Amino acid sequence: MQVETKALKTLIPIITLCIILSACEKKPQQYSKQQPNKKLSLSAVEEEHLFYLQNPFKGKEVTLLNNDGKEVRLAAYNCSVYKAIVKEGIVIKWKNILSPSLFYPFSKCARSTIKHTKSQYVEVFLGKIGFGAGGCCSVSGTYRSKDGINWEERKARGKWQEYNAK
């Protein structure tokens, strides 16, 4: 009998605490059926994330028109080229579409540049440096595209060759 009383004395504060804490829980927001067109508001964190997604590459971005006349936003960052996936005019994510081949596994990005050329191309230089190799760039390449889909790589003596991007 004494054991049961001792157990009850221990359980009563725990049960009381659980009841108190469950009362503090926020109830999910109920949306009124009378206002179906009510705009959803974003939290400060969601706004910051959305703002960041619009250009997370700090200006290393270009815009071009593809064959259908639609805008394509491209950015070079960390030895890769990314394409903006846009929905209703807002960037929802960035997709990696071009990276140099993996030649030296222990390497880091030394240069990533992207620019428009006079001949309506977007030209990208991606250069990686191998640890212990010294100098830039043990793995590098210059690539160009008119539409952000079909890419060419500069080979020896400035000749351009079709490149199969991701």
Q: DSSP label at 107? A: E
pLDDT score for 83:
92
Check residue 83 and give left, alpha or beta (phi > 0: left; psi -120 to 50: alpha): beta
Q: How does pLDDT run across 101-154, given as a tens digit for each residue?
A: 766 677 788 888 899 888 889 999 988 887 776 667 767 789 999 988 889 999
Residue from 129, 127, 131 nearest 141 by CA: 127
pLDDT score for 120:
84
Query: Is 163's pLDDT higher than 60?
Result: yes
Q: DSSP label at 138? A: S
Radius of gyration of the chain (CA): 28
Q: Residue 137, preceding bond cis, omega within 30 degrees?
A: yes
The C-alpha atoms of residue 47 and residue 108 are separated, in whole angstroms, by 32
Strands 90-98 and 80-87 turn out to be antiparallel
Residue from 132, 114, 131 nearest 123 by CA: 114
DSSP secondary structure of 35-86: -TTPPPPPPHHHHHHHHHHH-TTTT-EEEEE-TTS-EEEEEEETTEEEEEEE
Q: Which residues contact 101 (CB under 8 A, 6 or more apart)?
A: 139
Beta bridge mates, 62: 74
What's the order of all strands across the beta sheet hosting 151-154? 107-116, 122-130, 139-145, 151-154, 160-163
The model carries a pTM of 0.66
Q: How does pLDDT run across 72-100, given as a tens digit for each residue?
A: 999 998 888 999 998 887 888 899 998 87
